[in-house]
A and B are shown apart, each in its own frame.
Chain A
Amino acid sequence: MSKLLVSPSPHIHSKDSTKSLMLDVVIALIPAVICSVVFYGWQELLVLGVCVASCVLLEWAITKYMLKKPSTIGDLSAVITGILLALNVPYTTPWWVVFVGAVVAIGVAKMTFGGLGQNIWNPALVGRVFLLVSFPTYMTTWSKPQGLFGVDAVSGPTPLGAIQEGLMQGSTVQELTSAYDYKDLLFANLGGSAGEVCALALLAGFVYLCCRKVIKPWITLSIFATVALTSLIFWVINPARFTDPLFNLLTGGLVLGACFMATDYVTSPMSVWGGVVFGVGIGFLTVMIRYFGSYPEGVSFAILIMNSVVPLLNMWFKQKKFGRK
């Protein structure tokens, strides 16, 4: 010891760092990643690889050559954006479309605002929605999972897409949903983007994050509760026109969105009550878009819309201060 360090208190720090928290999110996504690769095969692996690699590479290049600042890829947030974006697109998406998604997610939605912590909207969702409106063909032609070793890929719409189409042709919801076994939805056996197909694997990741105290469950639970309640009301009124609550909970990436996208630190409110209101907003908008919108699927839009009001929610819903009214 040559000289004494002198600095203000506290003198110790918790083990948490941005990197350790992000690593926990990556770990929580592993079950879903494994599931999607098993169900969709090597093509899904390619999408994941391209997505993660381009997100990380883009962030590195932007910080180095455009911002001329130390690289921030070490915090692993670009890896998460990559995985989430990959889980949000069909496994049949060509690699260059995936790359364009990564450019929008990292380049536009994240780095333009100043990088991690500064962005207003969830980068992966911005990338996804950009692809959805720019490349509808790739983004809406879904194939039923063929499995890691399967060969018979069958093209078809997602459950939600099929129902919207069916309704327009005059069928009732009962006729249309009878084609689906809810167990399949829970265990992943239906067409959809990778992240939409295995609710159980996603929920396992969510439970892990809650146990590790990385996230608090209130946002996710309030989304689930709102979707269930809102669709229950509509379903009771007219079961022929509106899908039932369980179907709404298990389809269209709601689980992925509620567990991993809406809970993103940067783009969600800080206080518990702010989070609950945020979740209620997402749940309600999701159901409204699904029932009355022109897109069959509403989670992405709902989350992005609610992302925009987070600063207001942070202002309106504050923790009660000690000893103050």
Chain B
Amino acid sequence: MSKNTFRIGGVHPHDNKISRECAIEQLPLAPTVYIGVSQHIGAPSVPCVAVGDKVKVGQVIAEPGGFVGAFIHSSVSGTVKSIAPRADLAGRASTHIEIAVEGDEWLEGIDTTDTLITTIPEDPKAIIEKVKLGGVVGLGGATFPTHVKLSPPPGSKCERVIINGCECEPYLTSDFRTLLEKGEQVVVGAALLQKAMGGVPCTIAIEENKPEAIAHIREVIAKLGYKDMEVMVMKMMYPQGGEKQLIDAVMHRQVGSGALPISVGAVVQNVATALAVYDAVQKNKPIVDNSVTVTGECFPRQANLLVRVGTPLKYIIDYLGGIPENAAKIISGGPMMGRAVANLDAATVKGTGALLFLTEKQTRRAPETHCIRCGKCADACPMGLEPFLLNKLSKNADWEACEANAAQDCIECGCCLYSCPAHIPLLDNIRVGKGFALSAIRARAAAAKAAAEAAKK
């Protein structure tokens, strides 16, 4: 049994990988797709097509709205029908580009064959530029623009690229299937990332509940003859796939509060992101589709689907037989950090990794009782915080104390609420305190900046 894991906290939910044997299959094209302009962290992208325009698969339809931004490409070929606000999965409106699908015509220059291209460009800048043009964002959940992550601020130096293949969330299997079915592409993608960061070593971290993937990736690395790349077998532990936790597990370094991974010399990319990097750099293929696990004990047809970005959730669910009678909650993502779907007309985004169906019995929260001071929340917190304390401070609206007790460090992994025997909604309350603590910190930083500028004048 592997002992590699992060040093503070963590929980062991049952992994429930019931869709692990389902090979990735192509979802037929939906008649209409809705591509959002804010699918990533940072400024929303600016549409660069007009209603009535004909577009092809892979054509840019929205440009970055700022430095931290991303290109968005059409995932289908057809006609732009509208550019208008539309509700996302939480029901909040944001601009979407509606495209009526006509055939499946790809933009010239995109290599849609399966040929593996292992020649790696010499110039790191060229790699990063192609990643940017490919609209690649972190597909592990945060959807942070990848080219920004690959351009560390002056003075910082990357020492290791970590490919996150932990998939520590229960139920999710799309990264596992990607490692098995597109292992070569992921490994070459990792090599591209190594090159982009200046030839640093690379670790591919995979949890030990995926032995087939571990064996396959080791084989691929040996076959391709990469010397500076290794597979690290990780102990099963949630939230191992959290960026800070994974860096701690792999490099035994802890990223400071509010600091970026690069401050300890790490760049972490998810398996799906590595594949997207390969596609963007070697095949000129931007992100137009991604693997989505559709699963749940109550869902009759488990699947890992390759879904075009912007496909309505309802279309996916109907393809697999519709919503089961006893499903009470649909989650976009895993059961620990995923978001509950309020609107089935919402469309997938680049970062959509799973649709999980839970029954009421599986997901209904038990009534809250008194805290028994067992300390299980503090033991579980991977950030070393005291959720029971932050919960109280947050309920008392004592935001200063929230900040003093590091509410802003909370990664919202849900370990505290998951493990609380009294079923206290710890994380619900801590999120509020975290929000206030973060805005206080930002306000102070802005005030300090303004004061410094005033002093200059």
Contact = CB atoms under 8 A, between A and B. Distances in A.
A270 B373 contact: yes
A323 B9 CA distance: 13
Nearest to B247: A323
A321 B403 CA distance: 13
User: Main SS of chain A's interface residues?
Assistant: loop
Interface in B290-344: 323-331, 335-342, 344
A64 interface: no
Nearest to A275: B375
Contact of A9 (B373, B421, B427): B427
A117 B422 contact: yes
Nearest to A214: B374
Q: Which of A11, A270, A318, A323 has the most CB of B within 10 A?
A: A11
B374 A21 contact: yes
Contact of B373 (A10, A117, A321): A117
Contact of B370 (A5, A115, A270, A319): A115
A166 to B, nearest CB: 42
Interface residues of A, number: 36
Contact of A270 (B13, B244, B255, B378): B378
Interface string A271-289: 1000000000000000000
A12 B358 contact: yes
B351 interface: no
Interface in A289-325: 318-324
A265 B328 contact: no
Interface string B170-190: 100000000000000000000
Interface stretch (B105-113, B131-139, B359-367): B359-367
Contacts of B345: none
B423 A13 contact: yes
Interface stretch (B220-228, B412-420, B435-443): B412-420
A229 interface: no
B73 interface: no
B427 A8 contact: yes
A308 to B, nearest CB: 15
A322 B415 CA distance: 15
Contacts of B386: 270, 318-319
B363 A11 contact: yes
Given A10-B336, A117-B371, A323-B257, A5 B328 contact: yes
B384 A319 contact: yes
Interface in B136-155: none
A9 B332 CA distance: 11
A299 to B, nearest CB: 21
Contacts of A75: 369
Contacts of B341: 4, 6
B366 A13 contact: yes
A14 B11 contact: yes
A11 B372 contact: no
Nearest to A319: B384
Contacts of A270: 373-375, 378, 386, 388
Interface in A66-104: 72, 75, 77
B338 to A, nearest CB: 6
A1 B421 contact: no
Interface string A12-30: 1110111011000000000
A321 B385 contact: yes
Given A11-B335, A118-B370, A1 B423 contact: no
B244 A4 contact: no
Given A75-B369, A323-B259, A10 B244 contact: no
B48 to A, nearest CB: 34
B340 A322 contact: no
B328 A4 contact: yes
A13 B325 CA distance: 22
Interface in B381-412: 381-386, 388, 406, 409, 412
B373 A323 contact: no
A321 B406 contact: yes
Contact of A1 (B326, B338, B363, B372): B326
A254 to B, nearest CB: 24
Nearest to B364: A5
A324 B408 CA distance: 13
Contacts of B326: 1
Q: Which of B364, B365, B375, B431 has the most CB of A within 10 A?
A: B375
Given A18-B422, A75-B369, A1 B417 contact: no
B219 interface: no
Q: Which of A1, A7, A271, A320 has the most CB of B within 10 A?
A: A1
A232 interface: no
B140 to A, nearest CB: 15
Q: Which of A6, A9, A13, A115 has the most CB of B within 10 A?
A: A9
Contacts of A320: 8, 384
Contacts of A20: 421
A266 interface: yes
Nearest to A323: B254
A20 B372 CA distance: 13
14 contacts: A4-B330, A4-B344, A5-B360, A8-B427, A10-B417, A11-B335, A12-B336, A117-B372, A117-B373, A117-B422, A321-B257, A321-B384, A322-B382, A324-B409
Given A4-B342, A8-B431, A270-B374, 13 more contacts: A4-B341, A10-B336, A10-B417, A11-B336, A12-B418, A14-B11, A17-B421, A21-B372, A118-B370, A265-B372, A319-B381, A320-B8, A321-B385
